[in-house]
Amino acid sequence: MTFQDFNFKPELAEAIKNAGFREPSPIQKEAIPLILEGHDLIGQAHTGTGKTAAFALPVLNKLELNAGVEALIITPTRELAMQVSDEVYRFGKDMGVKSATIYGGTPYNRQIEHIKKANVVVATPGRLIDLLKSKKITLNPSVVILDEADEMLDMGFLDDIKMIFSFIKGEYQTLLFSATMSKEIKALANKILKEPKSISITKSEVTNANISQEFYVVDEREKDDALIRLIDFYNPNKSIIFCRMRKEVDRLSTFLNSQGYSCKGLHGDMSQREREMTIKDFKRNNLDILIATDVAARGLDVNDVSHVFNYHIPFDSQSYVHRIGRTGRAGKDGMAISIVTPGEFRALQKIQKSVGSQIEAKVVPGISEIADKKGNEIVQQVIEAKIYDNAIDLVEYLKEGLDISTVAYKLASILMSQNEVKGKDKIGKSIEDIERLIKSAKNDRGDSRGRGRRRNSGGRRDRNRSRSRSSNNRGSKSRG
C-alpha cells in the first residue's frame, strides 16, 4: 500500500511525495480511511508510530478552507504543539492552509489575530481555556483532535479538557490519541466521543528488536571528540550520522574528512544529481560514513548499515524511530548511539517513554580502552594475515641488519602508530553523573504533575456549573 491509494487532493499528495513518504505506517494505514469516512476515533499509539501524519493528512484533505477554524488540535506541551503545527504547515502550505499555534508565555493579541486567519489551531489546554473563558475567541471546528491524551491527564489537565469541550458547539468529529488506555482515558473517551472506532498499535511494532540502543551524555563542546572516540571504538563497517540542520551536516562532513574519515553529507539543499551520487557511493561502499538530515534520509534503503549515530537528539519520537530504523535491517543486528547534552536529556527520556524500548546509558571509552581494543584487533589481523612472497623478501632483508625480535617490534610499532588514539582521555559524564540527571528529571516530573493538579483543583465548581449548563444542549451528535 502507498499514500497514493488514499486519493488525497493533488496538492496534498505532492507534499507527501516531497516529504519522502511512500508507504503508510501501520497506524496511518488503519486510521486515515476511518478519519476520511468521518468516524470518531480512539487511537492507541506512541509518537514514534507516525500518528501525527495519521490524523493531520486526512484532516487537511477534508478542509474546505472557508472562513474560520475548521480543525482544533489539543496537545499537552508547547513543544509538541509547535511540532504538530510544523507538520500541518509542511503538508498544507501548497493547499493554502493557515495555522495558529496557541500556548502560554506569548502575547494574547498576537495569538488572537493568528486565530482569526487560521484554518487549523494547535493549542495547549491552559492558554486555550483562558481564551475561551474570557470570550476572546469562539471556536466551531468540524474536527477536534486530542493528541497524547494520557500526557494531558498526567499533567492534571482532565478538567481543562472537559471544559474545552463545553465551549465547542455544533457537530464535529472527535479523534483521541493516547499511548495508554487507562480507566480515566476510557471514561473521557466515553464522554466526548460518539460511537468511535478503535485502533491500537503496540510498542513491539515501533522499534526493531535487533537494534541495540545506547546514549552518552557529554557537554556541547565535547560532541565532536565524543563522536570520533565512539567511531574509533565501534569501528563501524558502514554508518549514518544524523544532524538536525543542513549547516551542521556540512560542518561535520568537513571536520570528519579532515580527520581522515571517508564521509559525505546528504541534505535537502543538494541537487537531485548530487543526492543520487552520494547515495550510490554509500551503497557501493565508496563511503564509510553518511552524514544526513532527517528529511534527506527519508526513503534511504541500505541494508548493511551497522551503526546509526544521533549527533543531536531529534525533535520527536517519530524521527528517532525513523533514524534508528536505518540499521538492523534484513534481519541483521544494528546499533543506535545517541550523543546528548544535559539540556537534551529530558527530551531523550520522553523519546524513550514514547518508543517503549530500553536505551542504555554508557560512558565514553577512555584512551586505554580504545588502545586495548585496537591492540586486540591488530593481533587478530596479524594472526589471520596471508603471507606474501614480497613480505618474506622484506623480512629477510631486514634480518641482515637487525635481529628478528627488533624487526617484529618495529613492524608492530608502525601498525600501532597508524591506529593512534587522539584526544583527551576523559570525555563526557560518568555513570554517577547520569544517575543524578535521571533522579533530577524524575523529581522535576513529579513536581510538575503536582503543580498541575493543584492548579486545576481550583475553580472546579465553576467548571462543573459550565458542564451542567452545557449538558442541556447536547444532541445525539452535537457536543456542548
Instruction: Give the pLDDT of the chain (480 residues) as one tens digit per residue.
Output: 899 999 999 999 999 988 878 888 889 999 999 999 999 999 987 655 778 899 999 999 999 998 789 999 999 887 788 878 988 998 999 999 999 999 887 888 989 999 999 999 999 999 999 999 999 999 999 999 999 898 888 888 999 999 999 999 889 999 999 887 888 899 999 999 999 999 987 655 556 678 899 999 999 999 999 999 999 999 898 999 999 888 999 999 999 999 989 999 998 788 878 887 898 899 889 999 999 988 777 657 677 899 999 999 887 777 788 788 888 876 688 999 999 999 888 888 888 887 777 899 999 999 888 888 778 878 888 888 889 899 898 999 898 888 999 988 888 888 877 777 777 888 988 889 888 887 876 666 555 444 444 444 444 444 444 444 444 444 443 333
pLDDT for the residue 465: 43
pLDDT for the residue 69: 94
CA-to-CA distance for 88 and 36, rounded, in angstroms?
A: 17
The sign one gets for the Cα dihedral 383, 385, 391, 392 is positive
| Other beta carbons less than 10 A from residue 283's beta carbon | 16
CA-to-CA distance for 249 and 254, rounded, in angstroms?
A: 9
* Rg for the chain, CA atoms, rounded: 27
The CB-side HSE value for 13 (13 A sphere, CA atoms) comes to 9
Spatial contact of 164 and 74, defined as CB atoms under 8 Å apart: yes
CA-to-CA distance for 84 and 86, rounded, in angstroms?
A: 5
Greatest C-alpha distance within the chain: 106
pLDDT for the residue 204: 53
C-alpha dist (Å) from residue 479 to 163, 467, 474? 12, 11, 5
Spatial contact of 244 and 213, defined as CB atoms under 8 Å apart: no
Question: What's CA 121's distance to the chain center, in Å?
Answer: 22
**In angstroms, how far is the first alpha carbon of the chain from the final one?**
39
pTM beyond 0.85: the answer is: no
The sign one gets for the Cα dihedral 387, 389, 390, 395 is positive
For 105, the grid coordinates are 508565555
15: CB partners within 8 A, 6+ apart: 90, 91, 92, 93, 94, 95
pLDDT for the residue 181: 84
Please give the domain boundaries of the chain with CATH numbers for all domains: 3-204 (3.40.50.300), 211-363+428-442 (3.40.50.300), 383-422 (no CATH)
Question: What's CA 133's distance to the chain center, in Å?
Answer: 34
pLDDT for the residue 480: 35
pLDDT for the residue 456: 47
